[in-house]
Amino acid sequence: MIEVKGLYKDFGALHVLRGVSLNVEQGDIISIIGPSGSGKSTLLRSINLLEKPTYGEIWVEGKLITPPDPYLHWDVIRASHTYAALRAEGMDDEPAILKIKKEDLLKPHEGSAYNHLMKQIVKDHFEDTYSVRRRVGMVFQHFNLFPHMTVLENMIYAPMKVNKVSREAAVEKARALLNDVGMLSKIDAYPGKLSGGQKQRVAIARTLAMEPDIVLFDEPTSALDPEMVKEVLDVIKKLAETGMTMILVTHEMGFAREVSDRICFLDEGTLIEDAPPDVFFTTPKSTRAKEFLDKVL
Amino acid sequence: MQLDFSIILDWLPAFGSALLVTLKTTVCSLILGLVISVPLSLCKISNFKPLQWFAFFYTSVFRGVPLLVQVFMMYFGIPLVLPVRFTAFQAGTLVFAMNSAAYISESLKGGISAIDVGQYEAAMALGVHYPSMMKDIILPQAIKSVLPSLVNEFISLLKNTTLIASIGLVDILCVGQQIQSRTYRAFEPFFAISVFYYVLVLGLSVLGKALEKKVNASDRG
């Protein structure tokens, strides 16, 4: 359902992600954990393009959502002038491809077969950012409710504006979702009147109102007072039981172990473990993961 | 000399219609100025350099040239080089509007950049397009935060409109000058005018405070 291939993200000289690959199947619940600064949030935010990856590709439900990365399509590189020149010098196939710099390939190559093939990939598979975001919901650490709108208005705004749902249908859906997260009584309140836990429950309901196929959670409980963590985790757990595909970045190890199908351990921009929770928490393979678990458990 | 405020009473009807002129000019200028300031502030926060340059140039011109000169330029100067003609009201309103747009857009820009990046991210993550995001999510919050400075702009606009007397529109100041030339009395009419403006501005400030309180009600937790 989601395929992350060789993802790199640089912020200037800072290499936040260094070649992360990840597969998520329909109904999977994946928890991404790791030390702070390991690139967890950047990886998550790349999946709905709040961060634009430097290299690599992301595929969501068979659609390419990033620009194509020539390094993932060697047949395409073989069509470039640079490759032809290197071959003419007598270099072998693979060394020739590896010698070509990514930066050079990403520059426009007017009129070349290479250029044509790159365009063809875009034409066949590319999906624009806005329609990706309609299918990929996101829940933020700081809730990001719209403070000038009531809970109901927060809930119905995007469904009406983006999905062109009628007001009646949007309100009905909003009431049902708010009921699910136990916030129906606050439907006419402004976010400023709600506690952190209540805000996050509304934010989760707002994301679900768009009927996404996948929901991304970016440290959904990190900004909450301890006594409010449970109410939010309960809502997420309930959602998990409905079979929703979810990716969570979280520091709640107990919760991650309980609900996840797989744990992805990220360190210094590299995915170094991808295992079922029972395996990861009991017998981690890498020393980095062992050290991390010793500190947090 | 003896002060005689009864002359003010004699001129009350003239003051009345002049007050309407002043208020009409002020309100029209403010509304038009607000309308111009929104795209101008969007230019200022744009990533597209030429738009930024244009907005910067616009603001620097209207800040840099004295308002009276701008009024004269619009009323006397522009019609000589462009195929347009303005009444005194149109010329005055246009200048005041463009002028306050320069100032309002500056505070609006500040208001927009003060909005948490999470608001943009939430809107984007919900698939909302840029124009809707600005119109429905960002600008309403930005305008709310600049409301106090908007009231200030309204107040200085009200006071600045006295300049249209110089291009012959009969506003309150102009009535005062008429009284002075007819009766050779200066203190009474200008004192009365001062009181007019003072009361108006005071009223506006109170109104502004009330408005501010009302829109902030939704934010208080």
Cβ separation A206–B126 shorter than 8 A: yes
How far apart are the C-alpha atoms of A254 and A281, rounded to whole Å? 10
The 10 Å Cβ neighbour count of residue A108 is 8
How far apart are the C-alpha atoms of A285 and B75, rounded to whole Å? 81
How far apart are the C-alpha atoms of A247 and A194, rounded to whole Å? 26
A145 and B CB contact within 8 Å: yes
- Return the structure tokens found at A26: 């329909």
Cβ separation B126–A133 shorter than 8 A: yes
Interface test with B, best of A45, A129, A144, A156 (most B CBs within 10 A): A144
Q: Which residues of B touch A144 (CB under 8 A)?
A: 116, 118-119, 121-122
Torsion on CA atoms A194, A200, A204, A207, rounded to nearest 10: 80
Cβ separation A144–B119 shorter than 8 A: yes
- % pLDDT > 70, chain B: 96
Q: What ipTM, to 2 d.p.?
A: 0.89
Specify the pLDDT at position B218: 56
Q: How close A49 comes to chain B (CA, Å)?
A: 9
Q: Which residue of B has its CA nearest to A150?
A: B218
pLDDT tens profile A245-265: 999 999 989 999 999 999 999
Specify the pLDDT at position B220: 47
pTM for the predicted model, two decimal places: 0.84
* In contact, A215 and A237? CB cutoff 8 Å: no
Q: How close B138 comes to chain A (CA, Å)?
A: 9
A206 and B CB contact within 8 Å: yes
Residue among A162, A193, A206 minimizing CB distance to B221: A193
For the cut 50, the answer to whether the pLDDT of residue B221 exceeds it is: no
CB-based contacts of A194: which residues, under 8 Å, 6+ apart? A151, A186, A202, B221
How far apart are the C-alpha atoms of A172 and A166, rounded to whole Å? 10
For the cut 70, the answer to whether the pLDDT of residue B201 exceeds it is: yes
A38 and B CB contact within 8 Å: no
For the cut 60, the answer to whether the pLDDT of residue B208 exceeds it is: yes
The 10 Å Cβ neighbour count of residue B61 is 13
How far apart are the C-alpha atoms of B176 and A253, rounded to whole Å? 78
A vs B, Cβ pairs < 8 A, gives 69
- Give, in order, the Cα–Cα distances in Å from A99 to each of A17, A85, A273: 22, 12, 29
Q: How close B56 comes to chain A (CA, Å)?
A: 29
Cβ separation A138–B116 shorter than 8 A: no
Q: Which residue of A has its CA nearest to B119?
A: A144
Q: What is the DSSP letter of B166?
A: G
Q: Which residue of B has its CA nearest to A206?
A: B126
Cβ separation A148–B141 shorter than 8 A: yes
pLDDT tens profile B151-169: 888 898 988 888 888 888 8
Mean pLDDT of B136-141: 93
Specify the pLDDT at position A111: 66
Q: Which residues of A touch B140 (CB under 8 A)?
A: 148
Q: Which residues of B touch A193 (CB under 8 A)?
A: 220-221
A140 closest CA partner among A96, A204, A80: A204
Cβ separation B125–A146 shorter than 8 A: no
A133 and B CB contact within 8 Å: yes
SS percent in chain A: helix, strand, coil, step 5: 45, 20, 35
The 10 Å Cβ neighbour count of residue A152 is 18
How far apart are the C-alpha atoms of A60 and A171, rounded to whole Å? 29
Interface test with A, best of B47, B126, B215 (most A CBs within 10 A): B126
Q: Give pLDDT < 50 ranges for chain A.
A: none
pLDDT tens profile B66-124: 999 999 999 999 999 999 888 999 999 999 999 999 999 999 999 999 999 999 999 99
pLDDT tens profile B21-69: 888 999 999 999 999 999 999 999 998 999 999 999 999 999 999 999 9
Specify the pLDDT at position A209: 95
